Amino acid sequence: MLSAARRYWPLWLALVASAILIVAEFTHLYSIRVVTVTVRSATVGSHHGYALAIIGAASVVMAIGAVVGGSRPAAWALLLLAIAALVVALAVDLPVVNDTGLYGRNFEQARAKAEIGFKLETAGAVLLLLSAVAILVVRPARREAGPRRARPADVVSPDAG
């Protein structure tokens, strides 16, 4: 049991991170308040076209392929998906969470603040990155199932001489 938990912990971490990314898409990214009234808010997904939901779904497939299937290309793809999620969170969403826009120009007391969605998407992206690195670094190399069989190209014909 312990060896199974040890082998699959990066998979569980990647699955949790993917779920967090998908859930974050349907939560609030930011809100703009003037005094006590919220005048504007947006969901995470509506801000960037639900890109993190696509990244989260693809991450599930790649994590299973990397851990259960032992695929190195899937592990590298998972790392690239994690980097893409971080880019969306930090380059696309971070600049708008503190921007009051026109409300800031028209109302002196307008304040913008990051909501739970930004925190969730950032946490999900970081966890996905950690799981991808763990899969690439910590995962033991696969052993061959048995003795190597000769392929037809390896067999020397008796006529060759």
pLDDT single digits (tens) 140-151? 555 444 455 555
Are residues 85 and 48 in contact, defined by beta-carbon separation less than 8 angstroms? no
Note whether residue 83 is domain-resident. yes
Question: Is 69 domain-assigned?
Answer: yes
Domain that holds residue 88: 9-27+45-96+116-137
Instruction: State if pTM tops 0.85.
Output: no
Q: pLDDT, tens digit, for every residue of 56-68?
A: 999 999 999 999 9
Is 86 among the domain residues? yes
**pLDDT band (50, 70, 90) for residue 82:** very high
pLDDT of residue 147: 52
Asked if residue 154 belongs to a domain, the reply is no
For the chain, where are the alpha helices, taking DSSP H only?
2-24, 44-48, 51-67, 72-87, 94-97, 101-106, 116-137
For tokens 């851990």, name the residue.
67
Domain count, the chain: 1
The arithmetic mean of pLDDT across residues 121-147, rounded, is 81
**CA torsion through residues 76, 62, 78, 13, sign:** negative
- The yes-or-no verdict on residue 12 having pLDDT over 90 is yes
CB–CB of 63/134 below 8 Å? Answer: no
Mean pLDDT across the chain: 85
Q: Does residue 111 carry a pLDDT above 90?
A: no
Q: Is 124 part of a structural domain of the chain?
A: yes
